[in-house]
């Protein structure tokens, strides 16, 4: 059932408390809510964005640098629009018997991306609403360090350089890596273990064949620069490589430097990873999206 009216102030406070959101972004959301409460046009914009976000017709702000002013202003209201969905999200979790800890961890992605927007703009907002909405729509679940998305395998995304044990339409679990600190081998082991248990229990009618991850972190070129015992190399070695047709370096640059495109001559060189990325490009190389699969345990 669609959310037809704004959350009340008390309902909003309850949602923010549930998420244990830190004070600065929570205060910003309360300000957004207060402004929308006192303005019919802002309320209408909020509910319009809610509909667009959860019906899949959202404007991608990262691809709309020349968008008109109203589109750019969406970043300030989209965080609140995502929270409009939260009462329904929590009802679904309760109906499925899924622990509230999983809901809170999954929905914490909202704050992660609000911090990302703050680092780029100095303001609290959200440009990744289409992705964050996946958690609020119960399509992605955070289980420990990693996130998992039930999906079907799409062979059209890959170049088949060698036979692999996945066919078009196989049920898989897409693996996503939230930007929230180190991903130690132990933490990732725990996530994959928890994912196996979670989907066997709560998606018992579906048989997932493999974990599939597509990320700049799976670019095999990273092994030319990083030691085998680093977290990144340990993670990518878990997966049998797949070759994506999309060879863009956009995600690498965006994740390492916080923006894309970037002037490499002026780019910071304050971390090993940033120096590696710059060196590779200056030597004539191009970073790529990597991908790979790991078969699910039979039991």
Q: What angle do CA 46, 61, 138 make, to 5 degrees?
A: 60
**Res 17 pLDDT > 70:** yes
For the stretch 217-251, pLDDT in tens is 999 999 999 999 999 999 999 999 999 998 899 99
State the burial class of residue 142 (Cβ atoms within 10 Å of its Cβ: 0-12, 13-18, 19+).
buried
Look at residue 67 in the predicted model and tell me its pLDDT: 37
Q: How far apart are alpha carbons 232 and 50 in whole angstroms? A: 36
Write down the pTM of the prediction.
Answer: 0.92
296 close to 210: Cβ distance less than 8 angstroms? yes
What domains does the chain contain, in order, with CATH numbers?
1-138 (no CATH), 140-299 (3.40.630.120)
**Phi/psi of residue 248, nearest 5 degrees:** -70, 150
Interatomic CA distance for residues 151 and 244, integer angstroms: 17
Strand, helix or coil for residue 81 = helix
Q: What's the pLDDT band for 161 if we cut at 50, 70, 90?
A: confident
Residue 18 has pLDDT above 90, yes or no: yes
- The 10 Å CB-count burial string (b at 16+, else e) for 199-231 is beeeeeeeebbbbbbbbbbbbeebeebbeeeee
For strands 210-215 and 290-295, give the pairing: antiparallel
Tell me, letter by letter, the H, E, C secondary structure of 12-58.
Answer: HHHHHHHHCCCHHHHHHHHHHHHHHHCCHHHHHHHHHHHHHHHHCCC
Integer-rounded Cα Rg, in Å, for the chain is 20
CA 225 to chain centre: 26
> Helices (DSSP H) in 85-179: which residue ranges?
86-96, 100-107, 109-121, 129-136
CA 268 to chain centre: 25
Q: How far apart are CA 97 and CA 257, in angstroms?
A: 40
Confidence of residue 110 (pLDDT cuts 50, 70, 90): very high
Predicted confidence band of residue 3 (pLDDT cuts 50, 70, 90): low
Residue 20 has φ and ψ, to the nearest 5°, of 55, 40
The answer to whether residue 2 scores a pLDDT higher than 60 is no
Instruction: Reply yes or no on whether the pLDDT at 278 is more than 50.
Output: yes
């Amino acid at each position: 059932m669609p959310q037809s009216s704004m959350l009340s102030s008390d309902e909003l406070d309850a949602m923010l408390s549930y998420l244990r959101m830190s004070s600065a972004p929570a205060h910003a959301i309360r300000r957004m809510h207060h402004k929308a409460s006192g303005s019919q046009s802002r309320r209408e914009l909020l509910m319009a964005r809610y509909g667009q976000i959860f019906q899949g017709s959202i404007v991608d702000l990262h691809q709309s640098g020349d968008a008109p002013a109203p589109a750019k202003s969406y970043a300030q209201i989209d965080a609140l629009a995502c929270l409009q969905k939260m009462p329904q999200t929590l009802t679904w979790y309760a109906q499925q018997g899924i622990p509230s800890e999983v809901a809170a961890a999954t929905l914490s992605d909202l704050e992660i991306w609000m911090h990302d927007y703050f680092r780029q703009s100095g303001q609290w907002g959200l440009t990744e609403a289409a992705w964050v909405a996946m958690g609020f729509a119960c399509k992605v679940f955070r289980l420990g360090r990693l996130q998992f998305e039930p999906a079907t395998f799409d062979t059209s995304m890959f170049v088949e350089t060698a036979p692999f044990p996945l066919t078009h339409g196989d049920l898989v679990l897409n693996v996503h890596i939230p930007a929230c600190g180190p991903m130690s081998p132990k933490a990732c082991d725990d996530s994959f273990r928890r994912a196996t248990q979670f989907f066997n229990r709560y998606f018992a009618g579906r048989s997932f064949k493999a974990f599939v991850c597509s990320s700049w972190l799976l670019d095999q070129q990273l092994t030319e620069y990083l030691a085998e015992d680093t977290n990144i190399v340990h993670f990518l070695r878990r997966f049998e490589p797949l070759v994506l047709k999309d060879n863009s370096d956009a995600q690498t640059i965006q994740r390492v430097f916080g923006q894309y495109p970037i002037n490499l001559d002026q780019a910071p060189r304050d971390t090993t990873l940033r120096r590696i990325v710059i060196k590779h490009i200056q030597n004539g190389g191009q970073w790529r999206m990597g991908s790979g699969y790991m078969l699910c345990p039979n039991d």
